[in-house]
Amino acid sequence: MPKAKRNQLKNRAIIALLFTCILGFGAGAYGLVNVGLINGEKYKLKAESQQLSDTTVTALRGTIYDANMNVLAQSADAWKIWINPSKISSDEDRQTIAQELSTVLELDYDTVLEKCSRSDYAYVLIKSQVDYDSKTQIIEFRQSHKGYNQIIGTEEDVKRYYPYGKFASSVLGFTGSDDVGLSGLEYFYNDTLTGTQGRLVTAKNAKQIKMSSDYSAYYEAETGLNLQLTIDQVIQYYLDTALEEAVTLNNANYGYGIIMDVETGAILAMSTKPDFDANDPYKVADEVKATELEAIEDPDEKSKATSEARYSQWRNRSICDSYEPGSVYKCITAAAGLEEGVVTPDEMFNCTGSYEVLDRTFHCSHRAGHGVEDFTTSMMNSCNPIFIEVAQRLGADTFYKYFEAFGFAEKTGIDLPAESTPVADVTYHSRKRLNAVAMASSSFGQTFQASPIQIITAINAIANDGKLMQPYVVGSMLDSEGNKVFETKPIQKRQVISKETADILKVMMEKVVSGGTAKNAYVPGYRVAGKTGTSQKLTIGENIYIASFCGFAPADNPRISALIVVDEPKNGSITGGSVAGPVAAEVITNVMKYLNVEPQYTDDELAKLDVKTAKAVGKTVAEAKKELESTGFTVKVIGNGDTVAKQVPAAGQTLPKNGLVVLYTDKDAEPQTVIVPDLTGLTVAEANNTAIACGLNIRRVGYTSAANVTAYKQNVDSGSDAQMGTVITVSFRTEINEED
Amino acid sequence: MAYANRTEAVDMRKSNQYGSAAPKRAPQTAPKHAAPRPKVVKKTKAELRAEERRSASKAIKALAICAVFFTFIAFQIFSQVKVDELDRQIDSVNSEIEVVESENTRLSMEIDSTISLDKVDSYAQNVLGMVKVENYQVSYIDLSGGDAVIQSGGKVHQSLWETIKMYF
């Protein structure tokens, strides 16, 4: 080959090589620029998703404790059970799976079978928040059947436990399936309770298997903060029990109540009855309502009614509802009158039974009039005309000033959701529209509305020497180690009246309980002060009432304020004094004992106190009989022996002065039983005599000082058997017929 | 005799002395950078033995290095497998702990629900026949005066100064 030709070939080869190099490197360079710069983010994400496994670590929701660190709500891991119906190939498999899942998960077979039949779907949730035992059973079932691994699946879930079910459920609220608070404190403090989710990022190898911990990064989840409430489990229990009984006894629609710490405004108990089980909030807890819902045939109507029933049972009526406070508001009118010096406790008035303001005539609940009485007595009698007179003396400006100062024109600011918002000229009269007539009706708590929390906060200000406090439910927040990260400091909103005026009012309100319309709230030894209220629900109908009592104890050194509201009592009594008063007495007695407040009896109260039974066991029958009879007891001896072997009631128990003590001379003698009589409707003396005649004793609870006092409930059902000498607790009350 | 069959270092160019059957080509000019001809050095038997020993030793060393290298690799793989295995065990134990903690919470909640105040109250009154505490059963002690210690009679300890003062 000639040299020139060889050189030409060589040059061509070099050019071809250069071209190939340029093309190759150019393509490579372009690829690098494209991957690194132009579409860098996209490829980065793709690479990360291919090479990294990113798992969210769920943060556990904080726990809710009561004031004494008893758990009221706590979260724990649970599981979701799902199926892939597209992988179910035969009807036999479908039925087998539906049968097993419905049995283990306690679900309706037909519903599960229908879910199994959705062959177009790859994921159908069967049940969430399944516990460990059920999940294990389902996994065992899955493993025992070939091919079911691809059909039945489980995934992690969280479940919120409320150990005491209905306990304070309207305050605590509940969470949804995604562990998000939907109502009550769970909703209000959702962000605080939720915490921060964590992440586990792990490298994956070519086979998509997670690599060792050297190639992983773990960002720990932060558990939500725990809440320590001011609610005390024991006080809440007393309130719950008393309200539940009151709703049943009075055939009422609802009962709601609040117990507040006087000094701080902390809520010690808050209850709405009927309520719901927070573990199963979608179930209508009221059995009567549930039966009514079951009877509805039209599916749309049924769905709508069920939804309404659920919303109704979730409602915290102590916060969300408002009503006309009625005569309870007279305390505020009196406070304004005394503070402004337009009236004194001893000033004499004449109640003629009515009072005219412009063209309107307002009547007293006692139509004939109370006659001449001082201001304190007018409060004891809940005399409307006198309070209208005080309001007229104050004038609209001053009257409205105190209305506002006591917090009736604003929210209390309690840390609970959906607090009722006062709206000027809708729920109350604005200053502009507060004319003489509106002021007259407002002076005794009519024609405006207030929420229960507003009312107790205002009355609490009187108990707290005139200091209006902001109510609160959460006392502190704790981290997962139990360290306090936040503590609620009591907030005094303002001084609404002077301490001197508050002291005068305390005395007046105590007299309302000891001798006025709130007699049924009287508790011997504990100086209860308060005011009853009976208001009509005029928006619904004429003879529909709300009975209430709001007060505090002990009157001289108040520790707690209490509000009891019975909504639409339908069992005869409708007044606050008859319906709400006894409930308040029961709750206050229990709470005072629980708070270790020493009872201080007056001489009168001491004289009426029951007597302790002496120890008779071991003594001769004659000696024991003599000793017991000398203290006023009736003695019944069973057996022929000489020495007392057993006594019922036991030594130390208190009985009315003519109570019955049964002495057994044979320790192994069969206890004598008697049938418990019906004592309701009887006076104190009648109930005591009837019980003794049957071989039983009574323990008197409630107001027993007046002649017209009658028993309204007993703790042992009539007709049941009881051992001779047993003490039956009988509750008494006096009927307050006038709307108080 | 042992070395009689040994292959001697041979200059292959010498073999051309016997000629070739191929037609003779014109002599080519030697390339400019032709490799230098290797020197043929005749080694003694002792040198050859030493050389053989050296190469055997080298081979053993190489083998040993390889063995160490492969052992190291094997250990690495083994330890990696072990780490993976332990990681899996840790994950598994952590999962078990989580499950057990959840079960503990669930069971605690179940226990709490069985000892709620209403159930305790009902059981105490209806089954055990207990009655609620009455005021007369409670004794109230006033502690508003604060704590105080009353010392019984005995030797009173005095300070030195007080003892001296007593003499004056």
Nearest beta carbon to residue B118 from set A237, A598, A654: A237
The answer to whether residues A612 and A585 belong to one domain is no
Mean pLDDT rounded to a whole number for chain A: 91
CB contact under 8 A, B134 and A654: yes
A280: pLDDT strictly greater than 80: yes
The answer to whether residues A386 and A498 belong to one domain is yes
Q: Could you read off the pLDDT of A67-125 as tens digits, one per residue?
A: 999 999 999 988 999 999 999 989 999 999 999 999 999 999 999 999 999 999 999 99
Q: Of A7-11, A468-472, A536-540, A633-637, where does mean pLDDT reach its minimum?
A: A536-540
B16: pLDDT strictly greater than 50: no
CB contact under 8 A, A131 and B106: yes
B164: pLDDT strictly greater than 90: no
Structural domain ending residue among the three candidates A194, A220, A247:
A194
The answer to whether residues A363 and A484 belong to one domain is yes
Sign of CA dihedral A358, A362, A367, A372: negative
Higher pLDDT, A739 or A228: A228
Structure-token pair, residue A166: 């209905």
* Residues of chain A above pLDDT 70, percent: 98
Say if residue A649 is preceded by a cis peptide, omega within 30 of 0. Answer: yes
Output the pLDDT for position B155.
59
Structure-token pair, residue A182: 């939907």
Which of A:123-152 have CB within 8 Å of B?
131-132
Residue A693 lies in a domain: yes
Instruction: List the one residue out of A572, A727, A568 whose CA is nearest residue A659.
Output: A727
Q: Could you read off the pLDDT of A657-687 as tens digits, one per residue?
A: 788 899 999 888 888 889 999 999 999 889 9
Q: Could you read off the pLDDT of A36-50 as tens digits, one per residue?
A: 788 888 888 887 777
The answer to whether residues A621 and A724 belong to one domain is yes
Cα separations (Å) of A96 from A13, A93, A103, A581? 75, 5, 11, 60
Output the pLDDT for position A547.
96
CB contact under 8 A, A654 and B136: yes
Output the pLDDT for position B152.
66
The answer to whether residues A378 and A503 belong to one domain is yes
Output the pLDDT for position B12.
47
Q: What is the DSSP string of A240-267?
A: HHHHHHHHHHTT-SEEEEEEEETTT-BE
A527: pLDDT strictly greater than 90: yes
Range A468-481 average pLDDT: 97
Q: Does B133 touch chain A (CB under 8 A)?
A: yes
Q: Could you read off the pLDDT of A116-166 as tens digits, one per residue?
A: 999 999 999 999 889 888 999 999 999 999 889 999 999 888 899 999 999
B15: pLDDT strictly greater than 50: no
Pair A533, A232: CB distance under 8 Å: no
The answer to whether residues A12 and A131 belong to one domain is no
CB contact under 8 A, A599 and B98: no
Residue A311 lies in a domain: no
Nearest beta carbon to residue A237 from set B80, B117, B134: B117
B10: pLDDT strictly greater than 70: no
Residue A331 lies in a domain: yes
Output the pLDDT for position A213.
60
Nearest beta carbon to residue B106 from set A161, A234, A727: A161
Higher pLDDT, A218 or A215: A218
Range A247-274 average pLDDT: 97
B134 to chain A: which residues are within 8 Å by CB? 653-654
In whole angstroms, give the CA distance from residue A163 to residue B108.
8
What is the interface size between A and B, counted as CB pairs within 8 Å?
75
Helix, strand, coil percent content, chain A, rounded in steps of 5: 40, 25, 35
B6: pLDDT strictly greater than 50: no
Domain assignment of residue A668, given as a range: 608-734
B98 to chain A: which residues are within 8 Å by CB? 77
Sign of CA dihedral B125, A657, A599, A560: positive
The answer to whether residues A502 and A641 belong to one domain is no
The answer to whether residues A468 and A408 belong to one domain is yes
Output the pLDDT for position A285.
93
CB contact under 8 A, A74 and B109: yes
Output the pLDDT for position B28.
55
- Confidence tier at A208 by pLDDT (50, 70, 90): low
Output the pLDDT for position A228.
98
Residue A275 lies in a domain: no
Structural domain ending residue among the three candidates A542, A575, A597:
A597
Output the pLDDT for position B7.
44
The CATH number assigned to the domain holding A624 equals 3.30.10.20
In whole angstroms, give the CA distance from residue A122 to residue A48.
27
A71 to chain B: which residues are within 8 Å by CB? 108-109, 112
Q: Does A169 touch chain B (CB under 8 A)?
A: no
Output the pLDDT for position B19.
46
Helix crossing, A287-295 with A299-314: angle to 10°? Answer: 160
Output the pLDDT for position B41.
74
The answer to whether residues A460 and A524 belong to one domain is yes
In whole angstroms, give the CA distance from residue A626 to residue A616.
10
Cα separations (Å) of A577 from A60, A517, A585, A727? 48, 6, 11, 27
A214 to chain B: which residues are within 8 Å by CB? 83
Output the pLDDT for position B154.
59
- A136-141 contact pairs (CB < 8 A, 24+): A137/A104, A138/A81, A138/A100, A138/A101, A138/A104, A138/A105, A141/A100, A141/A104
Q: Of A70-84, A247-261, A698-712, where does mean pLDDT reach its minimum?
A: A698-712
Output the pLDDT for position A210.
65
Q: Of A481-485, A578-582, A603-607, where does mean pLDDT reach its minimum?
A: A603-607
Residue A226 lies in a domain: no
Question: Kindly report the CA angle at A36 between A32 and A41, in degrees rounded to 5?
Answer: 145
Output the pLDDT for position A488.
97
Residue A220 lies in a domain: no
Chain A's closest residue to B91, CA to CA, is A213
Range B36-60 average pLDDT: 84
Q: What is the DSSP string of A31-59?
A: HHHIIIIISHHHHHHHHHHHHEEEEEEPP
Sign of CA dihedral A333, A336, A342, A348: positive
ipTM for the complex shown: 0.75
Structural domain ending residue among the three candidates A178, A194, A210:
A194
- Confidence tier at B36 by pLDDT (50, 70, 90): low
- Confidence tier at A171 by pLDDT (50, 70, 90): very high
The answer to whether residues A590 and A621 belong to one domain is no
- Confidence tier at A498 by pLDDT (50, 70, 90): very high
Residue A93 C-alpha, separation from nearest chain B C-alpha, in angstroms = 30
A234 to chain B: which residues are within 8 Å by CB? 117
- Confidence tier at A186 by pLDDT (50, 70, 90): very high
Q: Could you read off the pLDDT of A618-651 as tens digits, one per residue?
A: 999 999 999 999 888 889 898 888 899 989 888 8
Q: What pTM did the predictor assign? A: 0.81
Output the pLDDT for position B9.
45
CB contact under 8 A, B102 and A241: no
The answer to whether residues A621 and A483 belong to one domain is no
Nearest beta carbon to residue A163 from set B102, B109, B125: B109
The answer to whether residues A24 and A71 belong to one domain is no
In whole angstroms, give the CA distance from residue A630 to residue A106.
65
Residue A46 lies in a domain: no
- Confidence tier at B157 by pLDDT (50, 70, 90): low
Output the pLDDT for position A590.
95
The CATH number assigned to the domain holding A524 equals 3.40.710.10
Pair B102, A133: CB distance under 8 Å: no
Q: Of A74-78, A222-226, B37-41, where does mean pLDDT reach its minimum?
A: B37-41
Chain A's closest residue to B102, CA to CA, is A76
- Confidence tier at B162 by pLDDT (50, 70, 90): confident
User: What's the structural domain count of chain A?
Assistant: 4
Q: Could you read off the pLDDT of A339-382 as tens digits, one per residue?
A: 999 999 999 999 999 999 999 999 998 889 999 999 999 999 99
- Confidence tier at A200 by pLDDT (50, 70, 90): confident
Q: What is the DSSP string of A389-432?
A: HHHHHHHHHHHHHHHHHTTTTS----SSSSPPPP-BTTTB--TT
Residue A628 lies in a domain: yes
